[in-house]
């Protein structure tokens, strides 16, 4: 997960202006532990100065996605959520309950994927792998209740 400084460098190196709004949004990103919706993001952003217009927020999200500062994740329930990005090719495992997301580095599926892609004759492929389940601490909480 990128630090504030890394995110800032990404924007700066890309030639994007470091406006108060963008810097404020980056600060907000640092405070998220797991995944969050655009609305979560907006709410938290508007607890600080300067307040951020909806349009600006969504334009920033688009920019951050393009630059890899954010990653978009599609939940089983249909919601789109975001997480702060990180370097390299990786996938995610998400807790359905608390929303925690862990990175899975070093994609363990490369070999099998390559076989499938070869067999089907596809090229220029990208793949998306998401695992959703219940994390250990949520499972323990759940057992307490039932």
Distance separating alpha carbons of residues 21 and 51, to the nearest angstrom: 8
Q: What whole-number distance in Å separates Cα of residue 40 and Cα of residue 123?
A: 37
Interactions with DNA, residue window 36-75 (CB under 7 A): 37-39, 50-56, 58-60, 62
Cα separation, 21 vs 23, in Å, equals 5
Interface with a second copy, residue 143, by CB under 8 A = no
Exposure string of 74-105, with b = 16+ CB inside 10 Å and e = fewer, is eeeeeeebbbbbeeeeebbebbeeebebebee
Q: Which is nearest to 45 in space by CA: 34, 35, 56, 12?
A: 56
Map tokens 């938290």 to a residue: 44
When CB distances are held under 5 to 8 angstroms depending on the partner's kind, the choice from a second copy, DNA, none that residue 126 binds is a second copy
Q: Does 127 bind a second copy (CB under 8 A)?
A: yes
Binding mask 64-83 for a second copy (x = CB under 8 A): ----------x-x-x-x---
In whole angstroms, the minimum distance from the beta carbon of 92 to a second copy comes to: 11
Asked if 100 and 94 count as a contact pair (C-beta separation under 8 A), the reply is yes
Nearer to a second copy, 40 or 103 (CB): 103
Confirm whether residue 135 is marked as ligand binding.
Answer: yes
130 binds a second copy (CB under 8 A): yes
- Contact footprint for DNA (CB under 7 A): 16-22, 37-39, 50-56, 58-60, 62, 80
What residues form the annotated binding site for Fe cation?
A: 89, 110, 127
- Contact footprint for a second copy (CB under 8 A): 74, 76, 78, 80, 93, 95-96, 102, 104, 108-109, 112-113, 115-117, 120-136, 139
């Amino acid at each position: 997960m990128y630090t504030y400084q890394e995110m800032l460098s990404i924007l700066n190196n890309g030639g994007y202006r470091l406006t108060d709004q963008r810097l404020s949004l980056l600060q907000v990103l640092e405070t998220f532990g797991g995944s969050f919706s655009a609305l979560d993001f907006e709410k938290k952003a508007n607890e600080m100065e300067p307040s951020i217009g909806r349009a600006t927020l969504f334009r920033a999200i688009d920019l951050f996605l393009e630059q890899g500062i954010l990653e978009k994740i599609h939940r089983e329930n249909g919601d789109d959520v975001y997480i702060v990005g990180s370097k390299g090719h990786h996938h995610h495992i998400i807790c359905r309950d608390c929303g925690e997301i862990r990175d899975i580095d070093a994609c363990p599926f490369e070999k099998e994927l390559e076989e499938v892609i070869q067999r089907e004759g596809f090229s220029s492929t990208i793949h998306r792998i998401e695992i959703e389940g219940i994390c250990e601490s949520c499972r323990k909480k759940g057992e307490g209740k039932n």
